[in-house]
Copies of this chain bind each other. A is one copy, B any other.
């Protein structure tokens, strides 16, 4: 089970840091760009893995230029360093297309992925993912302020959509929720989501670093099972090792 892998890794690494591999290499010449991109990712893992529990490459940065063999290489490296991998894919298609994506996500060697609930099929996707021993993180309350009109202001049976999603996450036995660490999620919001999903699900929280989110707020409110993602602020630092160490220590102070 993915949740067991998460628990074991968090303990061994003594870290709740997830490093977001949002590597931008659009300025590199087309020839050799694939190699430069994969090498850059591998190098970042090498430099930060002592302080990270998980790595989260984002499909919108890596999937167009890398193929399945590159992805396998990246996942192998992350696993060799004793960490978890999450494909930040925000998968949100109909059944047949989601099935195809799950095939490839597994084939590429990822442990888990992020899922967008817009198409409604949280249960179907989680069931299929668990058959393949893949963990599922469901977007619940995102970090960007423009998402509020959909996720907070839309009501189903009088309940905000993000809480209806949290309810489905529990029913569907998904592995976790994606909840932004920015102002978009208040302390009350975080508490309500945790109450709905129960203590055993994992909060995956982006938004700390470049987006200005508050790690202390989320760590002190969301409970034991969480991962805080830091992307650009670590990977674009001149010294990624020091940056990862600093964030990991900071997070542990609040735990």
Taken together as a complex, chains A and B put the C-alpha atoms of A236 and B31 apart, in Å, by: 35
Partner of A120, one of B124, B148, B232: B148
Which residues of chain A from 142 to 167 have any CB-CB distance to chain B below 8 Å in the complex? 142-144, 146-151, 153-157, 161, 164
* Identical chains in the assembly: 2
**Does A252 reach chain B (CB closer than 8 Å)?**
no
Residue from A91, A92, A150 having most chain B Cβ neighbours under 10 A: A150
Taken together as a complex, chains A and B put the C-alpha atoms of A96 and B235 apart, in Å, by: 15
Please name the residue on chain B nearest to A91 by beta carbon. Answer: B60
**Does A118 reach chain B (CB closer than 8 Å)?**
yes
Is the CB–CB distance between A103 and B156 below 8 Å? Answer: no
Apart from A119-B142, A155-B155, what 7 extra A-B contacts exist at CB < 8 Å? A26-B100, A60-B93, A64-B104, A67-B67, A94-B143, A95-B144, A119-B144
Residues of A within 8 A of B (CB): 22, 24, 26, 30, 34, 58-61, 63-68, 71, 88, 90-98, 100-101, 103-105, 107-108, 116-121, 123-124, 139, 142-144, 146-151, 153-157, 161, 164, 206, 210-211, 232
